[in-house]
Amino acid sequence: MPLEIQEFNLSEERLEFRDTLRRFFEESSPITEVRRVMEGDSTGFAPDLWKVASEELGLAGIAISEDLGGQGFGLKELSIALGEVGRSLAPIPLFASAALAGRVVAAVGGEDADAFLRSIAEGEAATLAWVEAHGDWDPAAVRMEIAEQGAEIRLTGEKQFVVGAHAARRFFVIAREPGSHCDEGMGLFSVEANAEGVAIDAKESFDLTQPLATLRLDGALAKRVGHQGEAAPGIRIGLDEATALLTAEMVGGMQKVLETAVDYAAERHQFSRPIGSFQAIKHKCADLLIDFEGSRTAADAAVMASAEGDPERSLLASVAKSHVGPAGLRMATESGQIQGGVGYTWEYDAHLYYRRALASAVMLGDETMHQERLARLVASRRLEGAAQ
Amino acid sequence: MRREDTPEEAAFRQEVRSWLEANAELRSEQLAAPLDHSPEAEARAWEAMKVWQRTKYEGGWAAITWPEAYGGRGGTPIQQMIFNEEQSNFDVPIGFIAASLGMIGPALMRYGSEDQKKYLPAMLRGDEVWCQLFSEPEAGSDLAAVRTRGHVEGDELVINGQKVWTTSANFADKGFIVLRTNPDVPKHDGISFALIDMNQPGVEVRPLVTMRGDRHFNEVFLTDVRTPLDHVVNGIDCGWPVTTFTLMNEGAFIGMTVNSLTTATAMIDSARETGRLEEGVVRQRLGEAYARERVLKQLQDRIKASLLDGRAPDVDGSVLKILTSEWGHERAVTATWLQGAAGMLTGADAPGMGVWQDQVLARGSMAVGGGTLEVHRNGLGERALRLPKEPRFDRDKPFKDLKTSG
Ligand SMILES: Cc1cc2nc3c(=O)[nH]c(=O)nc-3n(C[C@H](O)[C@H](O)[C@H](O)COP(=O)(O)OP(=O)(O)OC[C@H]3O[C@@H](n4cnc5c(N)ncnc54)[C@H](O)[C@@H]3O)c2cc1C
């Protein structure tokens, strides 16, 4: 009997929602389909699947309010959907569009935000482009400056490691006022994908099922989102929310990795006994469970904190990301080991999850970045506490 | 998950807090003197623990979920949880008594006769403290291999053998013991569970010193020790279910209290004071320790949430036990690393009165006591993940024919 992991902190409605999505991805995006897209081109995008997922299931706008054409659910529901994407490796830009672009735009706000969110909810995929060649995930490290010509804003330069670039109809780009530093002068700008001076370079990516791209802008026309000089706090909140949501997606993959390994250990026989009866393998499986339990608990706490606007939102996002990243990589490594030679083949799916685990551990900051942020956050909180 | 108290719970919490404020001191953030592991200090600590137990009993807080008939409060697990949370802010000597009555109490309530249950109130008052006489030199992880013999003589059980690692046997008044009453049947079928008086001739207790330098546990030699037959719980040769039941309750106590002196936050405070928080590698290691602490807390909250909903815990207790043990030890090692060269010192000469050095040495209490990490990993594999058990050679043969170390 295959291992079935019991969910926690899910109401009956949410559990039903999860079941529906799981069936949907199993039927519409089995791993054979994922591989077909992966081997087809370098876009990492299945437009037909995305159309069904966003138009029929409404996933693109699941956390966007109904008056903007969304489903009016919250971040918890979005995290459930992302978990199923992580589990199936479905080649759709749900994370890029709904979590990354969607949350940052919603948090920055301003007059045009509603229209942007409406188009995201309709399935017009978007993504966020902010990291530059230096590879620093902190938006304060952005150097790209805007050029204003009369009422027009134009952007020139490169944004790296963009996820969901080929699916995106619109890019949200973080750039800054000329001569500004850190959070001051940080701004969010929308750029249409088909505008003049916009080019996408696919990158050969370690994660085969979610390739990255470089966005090259050459005087591309941009539109400011939110108010001048006021974007930074929203950008930071949006990125924290996206970080929490990313850990939920990662946990979806980790659950699949755990189930695969444990099922294999129970079925595969050597020396006339199931390999799972050997303690070396059994203890690896126990460690997979330990990593999985800690990770899903941390991811859930981070998502709930974001959903509720908890003041500990940033802190809990960093707790989750710093914990889930290395745990996911350990799990993918050991799960492959448990599967022996087949776990090392191209044909088996172990490497696809391994690749995703490594890339996701880096995306939005690796564990050292989040650990450092935690130490700073706790220290300043203690100082404030002492000052009161 | 995290949820607000209901109005009734909030009122209960307030009641607990007021009572604690009136009867105990808040925890301080610094040790005034190094930890004292001398026998005199241990005897004083034991007395203080008994006094606190009695104080709690008189306040009606000694065992919130136990029925009033046995000296409990007849309250809910949620109330017990609230009490524990509030109590953890105070400098009170909990520890062995709570752990011990958490094991034997539920076992007596479940398997004990009415006469046996009469021990419960004195246990709660702290008048009679019970020790756990399970492990033996030849029976550790493999507890069902106990050799200490019990013979029926008239209406008494006569006990001969040796126990080891018995926590606080040097102070305890009573003991619950696992015995071999029939060596001619397979190991699990010839075991009895009995209650004995520790203050009788034939019970010889020799303290063992741990690597920490304390006398945490003891060897206990039993020579013609007697206990009435009606002190056998669940009947002769039927002790194994009682034994496994108490072990289950032992696990439930693990990982639920935090000592504020040895938290990641305390480490971050001291790194800030010494300026070492400016180093990236220091921030990384402390950030990691902090994240682990929060994850552990979140896992505990999950267990609490299942209690609140009246469900079985949806995280296996062994996950918590393993993480509490491993992360706790690694945190302590990180803390001494943070001290640089001074990490080589201890006691009054070490930073923070050597509390971290003491924690480093305490590893075995969690990693071995209450079941080793390996045994808990077996449990996760077999219980939580339903992986097949290892082939066994000791299930069907009579106990007397089994192989041993000696
Ligand atoms: C602080 C402390 C307090 C204690 N208090 C009490 C008490 O109050 N009462 C009491 O009765 N006992 C007590 N114990 C004893 C404790 O329960 C045993 O030490 C423990 O169960 C391990 O038994 P052992 O020491 O004989 O080690 P062993 O069982 O001999 O183990 C030695 C090593 O072999 C490994 N091993 C053994 N079996 C397996 C297996 N099946 N699979 C994989 N690895 C295995 C162990 O994990 C360990 O690493 C206490 C121990 C400590 C450290």
List, for residues A182-193, the tens digit of each pLDDT value.
Answer: 999 999 999 999
Q: Are B92 and B38 in contact (CB under 8 A)?
A: no
* Torsion sign over Cα B43, B48, B53, B58: positive
What is the predicted pLDDT for the residue at B254? 44
What would the two tokens of residue B49 be?
A: 């623990």
Say whether both B142 and B73 belong to one domain.
no
Are A319 and B294 inside 8 Å of each other by CB?
yes
Cα–Cα distance, A209 to B106 (Å, whole number): 53
Smallest CA separation from ligand 1 atom 26, residue = B140
Whether residue B349 lies inside any domain: the answer is yes
Residue A229 amino acid letter: G
Say whether both B218 and B308 belong to one domain.
no
Q: Tens digits of per-residue pLDDT, A20-65? A: 999 999 999 999 999 999 999 888 899 999 999 999 999 999 999 9
Q: Does A198 touch chain B (CB under 8 A)?
A: no
Say whether both B67 and B166 belong to one domain.
no
As a whole number, mean pLDDT of residues A341-363 equals 96
Say whether both B306 and B210 belong to one domain.
no
Interface test with B, best of A374, A376, A384 (most B CBs within 10 A): A374
Whether residue B206 lies inside any domain: the answer is yes
CA-based max dimension of chain A: 79
B93, B117, B152 - which closes a domain: B93
Contacts of A272 (CB under 8 A, 6+ apart): none
What is the predicted pLDDT for the residue at B1? 44
Indicate the Cα dihedral angle B157, B160, B164, B168, nearest 10°: 50
Domain of B205, CATH number, reads 2.40.110.10
Q: Are B292 and B255 in contact (CB under 8 A)?
A: no
B212, B239, B266 - which closes a domain: B239
Cα A290 to middle of ligand 1, angstroms: 21
Q: Which residues in chain A have their CB less than 8 angstroms from residue B388's CB? A: 266, 273-274, 276-277
Domain of B319, CATH number, reads 1.20.140.10
Q: Tens digits of per-residue pLDDT, A210-225? A: 999 999 999 999 999 9
Nearest-by-Cβ selection for A290 from B277, B323, B390: B323
Whether residue B223 lies inside any domain: the answer is yes
Q: Tens digits of per-residue pLDDT, B92-128? A: 988 788 888 889 999 999 999 999 999 999 999 999 9
Phi, psi of B13 (to 5 degrees): -60, -40
Cα–Cα distance, B41 to B61 (Å, whole number): 26
What is the predicted pLDDT for the residue at A63? 97
DSSP state, residue B313: P
Whether residue B392 lies inside any domain: the answer is no
Atom of ligand 1 nearest to the CA of B168: 8
Residue A359 has pLDDT above 80, yes or no: yes
Indicate the Cα dihedral angle B272, B277, B278, B284, nearest 10°: -160
DSSP state, residue B156: E
Whether residue B391 lies inside any domain: the answer is no
Q: Tens digits of per-residue pLDDT, A292-304? A: 999 999 999 999 9
Q: Are A17 and A77 in contact (CB under 8 A)?
A: yes
Cα B220 to middle of ligand 1, angstroms: 16
Q: Are A21 and A83 in contact (CB under 8 A)?
A: no
State which of B103, B135, B220 you would mutate to test the pocket of ligand 1, scoring each by most atoms of that ligand within 8 A of its C-beta. Answer: B135
Burial class (CB in 10 A: 0-12, 13-18, 19+), A385: exposed
Whether residue B363 lies inside any domain: the answer is yes
Identify the helix (H) or strand (E) that includes residue A157. Answer: strand A152-163
Cα B137 to middle of ligand 1, angstroms: 10
Contacts of B289 (CB under 8 A, 6+ apart): B264, B267, B327, B330, B331, B334
Tell me which residue range forms the domain holding B83: 7-93
Question: Partners of B178 in the beta sheet?
Answer: B193
What is the predicted pLDDT for the residue at A77? 97
Whether residue B113 lies inside any domain: the answer is no
Instruction: Tell me, using a 6 A CB cutoff, whether residue B398 lines ligand 1.
Output: no
Say whether both B266 and B359 belong to one domain.
yes
Smallest CA separation from ligand 1 atom 3, residue = B369
Say whether both B223 and B274 belong to one domain.
no
B239, B265, B298 - which closes a domain: B239
Nearest CA in chain A to B288: A371
Whether residue B211 lies inside any domain: the answer is yes
Q: Does B363 touch chain A (CB under 8 A)?
A: no
Nearest-by-Cβ selection for A290 from B269, B322, B382: B322
Cα–Cα distance, A211 to B273 (Å, whole number): 45
Instruction: Tell me, using a 6 A CB cutoff, whether residue B140 lines ligand 1.
Output: yes
As a whole number, mean pLDDT of residues A228-248 equals 97
Atom of ligand 1 nearest to the CA of B137: 26
What would the two tokens of residue B182 be?
A: 């029939």
Say whether both B353 and B262 belong to one domain.
yes
What is the predicted pLDDT for the residue at B26? 87
What is the predicted pLDDT for the residue at B255? 44
- For B375-385, give one letter per residue: b (16+ CB within 10 A) or e: ebbbbbbbebb
Q: Residue B370 — left, alpha, or beta (φ > 0 → left; ψ -120 to 50 → alpha)? A: left
Q: What is the percent of chain A with per-residue pLDDT over 90, rounded to a whole number? A: 93
Atom of ligand 1 nearest to the CA of B372: 47
Q: Tens digits of per-residue pLDDT, B338-364? A: 999 999 999 999 999 999 999 999 998
What would the two tokens of residue B222 be?
A: 């039993």
Say whether both B232 and B332 belong to one domain.
no
- Residue ranges and CATH numbers for the domains of chain A are 12-121 (1.10.540.10), 126-232 (2.40.110.10), 233-387 (1.20.140.10)
Q: Are A148 and A95 in contact (CB under 8 A)?
A: no
* Residues of chain B falling short of pLDDT 70: 1-3, 250-259, 406
Residue A388 has pLDDT above 70, yes or no: no
As a whole number, mean pLDDT of residues A319-341 equals 97
Question: Chain A: nearest CA to B2, how far in angstroms?
Answer: 9
pTM of the model: 0.94
Instruction: Tell me, using a 6 A CB cutoff, whether residue B356 lines ligand 1.
Output: no
Q: Tens digits of per-residue pLDDT, A280-325? A: 999 999 999 999 999 999 999 999 999 999 999 999 999 999 999 9
